Amino acid sequence: MATLENLAESFDGRLECMRTLVDLQFAAEEVDCNKHFETLLNEVEKLENVLSVMRSVVQKQKEETKQIQEVKLTFESLISHLQYSCQHVPVHIPQPAKKEAVLQDAKTKKESQTNTVKSGNGTNKIKSAEKNEKTCKKLGKLDVYVPTVEYVTVEEFEGVPKYMKGRLTYTQVNGAIDELNKPLKEKYKILSMKRTTLNDVNRKRYEKFKLQETKDTAGEYFIVEEDIKEFSTLKMDNVGRAILTVLRHCGRMKEIRGGGHIRYACLPVY
């Protein structure tokens, strides 16, 4: 409820308004009054125009502020994703599939250069042939193809059924790939060399590798359990065999059985 003080204040305000109206009534009789009113009206119109412009500017700035806020949120999200990516970079990053370095190219060059020499005569051509032969030997050594098992991607690993991978981790599987690549490298390095240049140990390995080959292994690059034990630290226990199962599932290796051997052949990744 309104108190007497509030009513008094209300009546005082109305009386003051009536006094102002009375003053303005007498002021209207003055000659310059209308001119003053017109001037005031013009000023008010100008102020209204300025206020209108200011409102439009403020509205535009509000929209820009909203856009800036959206851009800020986008950048914050991007920075968050980048920080997460930096903190969770896989230890083993898959590399692009390597193309085979074919030794036949070096052999073809050697044959073509030898044929060129045979077609001509002279001491200079013979010396050139010897030089080309040495170059081809160097090329042959450089172009030895060493097959490798490509790393498994995170998406591929997550797609492996739980019953198959058990407690295996992504890092554990790709770490095993490093170990499997060691015997592959050693084996095909020995096979790429001439038998006459090998020592007794490697000559026996060479012969053993050749005995493991069958018609089913033609064009395949493979190792056996004995190679894994000899050239790597990967243990062929339940964990090691589970890793090989995962690699078969991911299309990195396959088994070729026969002749008393289980051969683990690496598959190309495209």
- Residue bearing the bigger pLDDT, 121 or 79: 79
pLDDT at position 67 is: 94
> Strand, coil or helix: what is 21?
helix
What is the Cα Rg of the chain in Å?
44
The angle formed by the CA atoms of residues 144, 147 and 153, to the nearest 5 degrees, is 145
pLDDT at position 76 is: 93
pLDDT in tens, 202-238: 999 999 999 999 999 898 999 999 999 999 999 999 9
> Strand, coil or helix: what is 214?
coil
pLDDT in tens, 86-116: 887 766 665 554 444 444 444 444 454 455 4
> Strand, coil or helix: what is 76?
helix
